[in-house]
Amino acid sequence: MTAAELADRWAVTAGHLANLRAHGEGISYIKLGSRVAYRYADVIAYEDTHYVEVG
């Protein structure tokens, strides 16, 4: 998944994801030359660990 795709999924900017990466925060990623990619399994795992059940 590209940074743009993840940003769209989470309703944040690609710049926000870049800031998280720069600070060593957020989700694990793959660096391919100058490109950044996120594994779908890592996205799901990250979302699962930040899930808040209400009620």
Close Cβ partners of 20 (under 8 Å, ≥ 6 residues apart): 26, 27
pLDDT in tens, 1-43: 999 999 999 999 999 999 999 999 999 999 999 999 999 999 9
The pLDDT of residue 55 is above 90: no
Residue 12 and residue 3 in contact, taking contact as beta carbons nearer than 8 Å: no
Separation of alpha carbons 22 and 55, rounded Å? 36
Close Cβ partners of 4 (under 8 Å, ≥ 6 residues apart): 14
pTM of the model: 0.87
Q: How many CB atoms lie within 10 A of CB 22?
A: 9
